[in-house]
């Protein structure tokens, strides 16, 4: 019994403490270094933040280059699948186009009326200069859903700015480096956005699920959401302006986003300011 415990201790000591053949560092030393990095990172130690920003810049660029062959394969795969569904898409788009044309006529009137009303209630209406950014990395791990874009503090990107795919909200800036930034997608488990669900105008919080959809949380039990209800930003929390389209309700409280986060190539970054009355 004593001998077997000794063997165990020797094996553990040999594995973790002793430096192996052709190894420059012992495992124990590197494990302590990792823990030190984690602890200092947890308490936002400034030196760690500088290291992090420098490593981020270097790694994001390298990752973009390394991902080129895989991205080429992905694009080819998508093109191929698109090719087989062109006709169906064409038919769908034809129907949609007809519907949209009839809506455009009504929209111009509603937009001008909306601008006038927003000025009265002092809402966010002025959009800062749009910054178009290229998506460098979109490796969405099963645990964290985020993308890296090629614009950073050099291009006046700030934390919390809204990130849009066309007119649809896809996320917000959560990390800014000198020439790159990280965007937390709406689908991430840690993403919480105040929303309005139209046409009833219910106020709620949209939370990511870690998958391709979102879920409506923290709303009253008795609200009746119907499939096809549209989800917009509510403007609460003073982060985004109200009325940015996000997605549609499908099956009770699930939200299908308008934008396909796996297909993001370029995104639009904007901040909102209040207009002068």
Counting contacts by CB under 8 A, is residue 52 touching another protein? Answer: yes
Rounded CA gap, 89 and 162, in Å?
Answer: 30
Residues 54-93 that bind another protein (CB under 8 A): 55-56, 59-60, 62-63, 66-67, 70, 74, 77-78
Provide the 3-class DSSP secondary structure of residue 107.
helix
The residue within the footprint of another protein, chosen from 91, 166, 262, 275 (CB under 8 A), is 262
CA angle 70–73–74, rounded 5-degree value: 85
Using CB under 8 A as the binding criterion, the count of chain residues that bind another protein stands at 56
Instruction: Please name the residue that has the structure tokens 């192996």.
Output: 20
Contact predicate 135/129, CB 8 Å = no
Stretch that binds another protein, among 13-21, 105-113, 154-162, 215-223 (CB under 8 A): 13-21
Q: Does residue 34 bind another protein (CB under 8 A)?
A: yes
Kindly state whether residue 121 participates in binding another protein, applying the rule CB under 8 A: no
Of the ranges 4-12, 102-110, 218-226, 269-277, which one interacts with another protein (CB under 8 A)?
A: 4-12
Q: Is 143 in the site for another protein (CB under 8 A)?
A: yes
For residue 160, give every residue at least 6 positions away whose Cβ sits within 8 Å of its Cβ, in sequence order, or none.
172, 173, 239
Distance CA 8, CA 15 (A): 11
CB of 163 to another protein, least distance (A): 15
What's the length of the chain?
A: 277
Task: Report the nearest approach of another protein to the CB of residue 5 (Å).
Answer: 13
């Amino acid at each position: 019994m004593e001998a077997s415990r000794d063997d165990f201790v020797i094996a553990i000591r040999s594995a973790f403490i002793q430096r192996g053949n052709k190894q420059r560092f012992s495992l124990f030393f590197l494990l302590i270094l990792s823990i030190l990095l984690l602890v200092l990172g947890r308490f936002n130690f400034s030196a760690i933040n500088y290291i992090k920003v420098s490593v981020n810049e270097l790694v994001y660029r390298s990752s973009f280059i390394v991902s080129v062959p895989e991205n080429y394969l992905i694009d080819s795969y998508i093109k191929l699948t698109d090719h087989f569904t062109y006709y169906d898409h064409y038919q769908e788009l034809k129907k949609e186009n007809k519907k949209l044309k009839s809506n455009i006529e009504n929209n111009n009137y509603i937009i001008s009326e909306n601008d006038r009303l927003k000025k009265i209630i002092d809402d966010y209406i002025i959009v800062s200069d749009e910054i178009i950014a290229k998506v460098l990395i979109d490796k969405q791990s099963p645990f964290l859903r985020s993308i890296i874009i090629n614009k950073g503090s050099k291009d006046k990107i700030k934390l919390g700015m809204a990130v849009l795919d066309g007119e649809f909200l896809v996320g917000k800036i959560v990390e800014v480096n000198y020439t790159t930034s990280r965007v937390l997608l709406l689908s991430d488990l840690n993403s919480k956005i105040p929303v309005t669900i139209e046409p009833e105008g219910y106020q709620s919080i949209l939370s990511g699920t870690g998958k391709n959809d979102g879920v409506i949380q923290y709303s009253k039990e008795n609200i009746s959401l119907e499939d096809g209800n549209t989800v917009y930003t509510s403007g609460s929390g003073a982060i985004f302006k109200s009325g940015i389209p996000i997605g549609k309700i499908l099956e009770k409280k699930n939200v299908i986003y308008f934008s396909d986060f796996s297909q993001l190539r370029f995104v639009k970054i904007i901040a909102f300011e209040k207009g002068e009355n």
